[in-house]
Amino acid sequence: MEHQERFENIPKWEDMDRDMLVNIFKKLHVVDVIMGASRVCIAWFLAAHNKTIWNTINLNDLDSIVLDDNPSKPHLQDINNGEKHRYHLREILNEINKFSRAATFEFFFNANTNVVEEDLAIISNGLPNIRKLALPIQKTQNLNSFASSFSKWKNLQTLIIAKFTEDDDLNHEFKAIAENCRNLTTIKFTCTLDMELATIIKKLPNLERLSFRCTSVFIRALMSLILGLQNLKSLNISHCIFRKRCNNNGTLRMLPEDKSLMQIILDTQKLETFKLCCSDCTTCLDVWNHTRLPDYSTSDSAFSNFWDKQWKTDEFKEFEF
């Protein structure tokens, strides 16, 4: 009898204070909230719909997610080897839409994720209020669908974008973005800056902050941006390889001490913040010792972890996540 009374006095999980539950859920990975915590009982299911849990979605941990959208490039982890249950990315994106009810302002993908047009269509339909997005893409099959997704993100202000393919550039995709997201102020590119990309970037009238950290940069394109963007305040060209075109149509690599680069430094004096590293920078050594493209045919976790770390890191805090 005494034991029974003592048992009845123990608080029940389902009676736990709702705010306390919400604070705990905020510290969990989104997959654990969607597939785990929200399925415990009705009280936890309701708590999992608190909008503040979904303001920032960070899919940085791929332990729970299977990436198999491109059959020729299998997902990085072997689904049969892990004990933890894993879910398809698209399944998770659909669930995020249901739980967040458009409350998401920031959405960050892992650098090793292949986000395709169908994935973008799901999140742009369900999460139209995104203001900050970190998006890695590979080959775009349907540019109209890609543009249609970005047409829903009228309030997008900060974009961190990468295209991890060997023989392609980001120019077509970024043109579609620039035409639809006129309020972009802050952009980080993980692709080569050439004249064509610079011409598209210059069409964004409100651009204030740019980062080309760890990329290949053509000097003429960079000068054209600095001179052409009237509202540009901050520029990060740390750990870049600088190039100029030669007469034979080839390209020449330049050192940071080169005269043309010094001219750019003079031109950048109109900027409030400017980042450029020195020629003996240890981060440069690390970055350029790694191949630029993830190798999806192997499970090289050191490689993918290195690039995911670079993806989330920047000398400007606006690009960190």
Residue 230: count other Cβ atoms within 10 Å of its Cβ.
9
Angstrom distance (rounded) from CA 179 to CA 45: 40
Our CB check for Zn ion shows the closer of 59 and 264 to be: 264
Our CB check for Zn ion shows the closer of 31 and 214 to be: 214
> Which among 246, 240, 184 is positioned nearest to 214, based on CA atoms?
240
Tokens of 136: 């890695």
Place of tokens 């698209």: 90
For the bound state, the minimum distance from the C-beta of residue 239 to Zn ion, rounded and expressed in Å, comes to: 4
Residue 265 · residue 257 · CB < 8 Å: no
Our CB check for Zn ion shows the closer of 129 and 234 to be: 234
Query: Which 3 state secondary structure label does DSSP give 274?
Result: strand
Residue 298 · residue 112 · CB < 8 Å: no
For the bound state, the minimum distance from the C-beta of residue 306 to Zn ion, rounded and expressed in Å, comes to: 15
For the bound state, the minimum distance from the C-beta of residue 281 to Zn ion, rounded and expressed in Å, comes to: 3
Residues that bind Zn ion (CB under 5 A): 239, 277, 281, 283-284
Our CB check for Zn ion shows the closer of 102 and 281 to be: 281
Our CB check for Zn ion shows the closer of 22 and 277 to be: 277
For the bound state, the minimum distance from the C-beta of residue 287 to Zn ion, rounded and expressed in Å, comes to: 7
Residue 54: count other Cβ atoms within 10 Å of its Cβ.
24
Tokens of 40: 């415990």
> Which among 179, 118, 170, 171 is positioned nearest to 147, based on CA atoms?
179
For the bound state, the minimum distance from the C-beta of residue 283 to Zn ion, rounded and expressed in Å, comes to: 5
For the bound state, the minimum distance from the C-beta of residue 45 to Zn ion, rounded and expressed in Å, comes to: 48
Angstrom distance (rounded) from CA 147 to CA 83: 39
Our CB check for Zn ion shows the closer of 81 and 282 to be: 282
